[in-house]
A and B are shown apart, each in its own frame.
Chain A
Amino acid sequence: MTAPGPSSVVEPLPERQVALIDLLDRLLSGGVVLTGDVVLSIADIDLVRISLRALIVSISAQNPSPWAEATPSRGDHGG
């Protein structure tokens, strides 16, 4: 079961808890971009990507949700 990696200093992959921001860097700007059916037939992948990125850097008390103008009813999680 142990990975046959030569680098024994490195912990086995699945047990590492990676920082969400490092993960999202990779999942949102890396990876193969293919046109999907369900989401992307409507929302372009770049739109999804940019929106996610905007979300990660900007949601806070000072910087409200980037969806504010699109979805006026954003009081649904009280913040």
Chain B
Amino acid sequence: MGTSHATAVGKDVPAMSDLVTYVYAVARNADALAEPTAALKGVADAPVHLVAGTHDDALVFVASHVPAQDFQEDALKRHLEDLDWLEAVARAHHGVIEAVATRTTVLPMRLATVYLDDNRARDVLDGGRALFSERLARLAEHVEWGVKIYVEPSVTPDAPGPTPTADLTPGRAYLRHRRQQQSVRDSVYRAAQQAAERVEAAGRKHAADHARHRVQQGVLAGGAGENVVNDAYLVPRDRCEEFRAEVTHAADGVQGVRVEVTGPWAPYSFAMPPAGSSDAEEGACP
């Protein structure tokens, strides 16, 4: 149409210049998404709308308008220090994606993907059509499961306390105790390794893809124990039961190792192929 959206953005509509377009996901529009999404509220409680491409409306961006002043560089830096703000945006982002994911395959965007207006977003959607279609086809009828493994050496019952035997000097007793603690730790980590191998075996059997996240630590990682594996698996819907069952039982009978399964998630971790590798998700370990 040759609109000059790239240069004068909303100059003639001052009210609109306060708003920019926040994009949540790409989706196929096959299931008439417009009506259900119109009822959703996104970031900043704004109503969600669809932005269709120029050529057809087979693919749409799920988007909403957000206040421009919150998403400019300075403001964003300030906001990112504010965990409440970050959480509100993350949950809003996730809420929209979850809701759309119940109706059709979604390709989630990374948090805080923002365009000057819907026309700019439309250009980007047009430009990425081939890639988006390919990824959506690959992700159809798949969900993501998170699998985390924790070690908790302290809960191992056979960790013997410091036995104050009469024939040991305090120093020797201490060293013996430390050695026992160390061997308990070692055996717990070996057990965790076995659990991890069982999880990976379940993944090879049932999952289409596998992604590795950083282990969780820091103030937000509230769970007990030390997180040693934080992985995501892309699993076909009809294999979820088996996958979940096998993964959940991967640490059965193992003291001090806990497996936690989260999901089903929209396929966040698989939205794009892993950087550097075309399709090989295995064997590329550093």
Instruction: Give chain A's interface residues, CB within 8 Å of chain B.
Output: 3, 5-7, 10, 13-14, 18-34, 36-40, 42-43, 45, 48-49, 51-53, 55-60, 65, 67, 70-71, 74, 77
Contact = CB atoms under 8 A, between A and B. Distances in A.
A15 to B, nearest CB: 10
B77 to A, nearest CB: 6
Given A7-B240, A13-B264, A43-B76, A20 B110 contact: no
A30 B107 CA distance: 10
Contacts of A33: 110, 272
Contacts of B271: 30-32
Given A6-B238, A21-B221, A26 B269 contact: yes
A7 B82 CA distance: 37
B225 to A, nearest CB: 14
Nearest to A53: B214
B93 A30 contact: no
Interface stretch (B47-55, B94-102, B173-181, B190-198): B94-102
Contact of B91 (A23, A53, A74): A23
B115 A24 contact: no
A24 B115 CA distance: 21
A7 B241 contact: yes
Interface string B133-169: 0010000000010100000000000000000000000
Interface of B: 20, 23, 26, 68, 71-73, 76-78, 80-83, 86-87, 90-91, 93-95, 98-99, 101-102, 107-116, 120, 124, 128, 132, 135, 144, 146, 211, 213-214, 216-222, 230, 232, 237-238, 240-241, 244, 262, 264-265, 268-272
Given A20-B220, A26-B269, A39-B73, A31 B238 contact: no
A68 to B, nearest CB: 10
A19 to B, nearest CB: 7
Contacts of A32: 26, 107-110, 113, 132, 135, 271-272
A25 B77 CA distance: 19
A18 B146 CA distance: 12
B115 to A, nearest CB: 5
